Structures are given as C-alpha cells and as structure tokens.
Amino acid sequence: MQGYNVLMVYNRSMEQLLMCKRLKDPYKGLSNLVGGKIENGETGIEAAYRELLEETSISNDDIVLHHLMDFKYYQQNCYVEVYVGKLKRDVVVSGDENKLYWSELNHDFFDLSLYAGEGNIGHMIEQVNMCKDKILSD
C-alpha cells in the first residue's frame, strides 16, 4: 500500500494555514495542503519533514509536526498520514511544485469548487480545532 502525507502548517498565531494552488492533476487549479509520497524505507514523520522542506523550504528547526490522523483507501491501495504543526518563527516559504500562499481560516474549506480533497481539508481543520491546545502547545 502506497503512503502519502498531508501537512497542515499554521503560522505562529494560528490565524493562517499554509495552502497551495495545485498546478497539475489531480485537483489542478484547486487549493490544497502541501504533502507528498512516503518513499520506501522512510517513516511517515521522516517523509513529512522531507516533503515539507522540499515543497516549502520549512525545516524541522522551524516547526514540530504532530501526527493528527490517517486516511486509508483500500480500493486505491493507499493511505494518507496527516501531520499538523505551528511555526516557531516567521519564515519565508518558497517552492516550485505548486503556488504557495497563507490562507485565513474564515473560509468554507468544504467547498469542493475551491478546495481539493473531497471535504477532507475542512474535516482536518475541525479536528485541529477540537484538540489544538493539546497538540500545538509547544
């Protein structure tokens, strides 16, 4: 089963979430969270930090990622690990895989005409809101 990760990166004040505008399929043109493939021999957290650095230039010195949840898709033979973190300091994000931007949190992340993931982004944000004091206190 192929593993993937999705990375929820909040700014220091927890008022914005790092998003990307997809430049290719799937979900071309829609907003999404950053993430990627878990390579053979990598743990999920190793892959999460590697993908974060590759796609955004954010390093493990800038953020502590916490494993939030997983999605398993038996018919597609894959799973997705979701990680969340809050930046320790202001950073300049850069990457050429997708267009990166900081999103305010007052949007309807369940709107499938704007956001990738079949509503999962909205669900993940709600999960963070339910437990952010516990997982993002560092």
Question: How much is the mean pLDDT over the chain?
Answer: 95
pLDDT in tens, 106-132: 999 999 999 999 999 999 999 999 988
Domain boundaries, the chain: 2-135
For domain 2-135, give the CATH number.
3.90.79.10
CA distance 80 to 105: 23
pTM to 2 decimal places: 0.95
Query: Residue 44 gets which letter from DSSP?
Result: H
DSSP secondary structure code for residue 54 in this structure: H
The DSSP-derived string for 57-85 is: ---TTTB--EEEEEEEETTTTEEEEEEEE
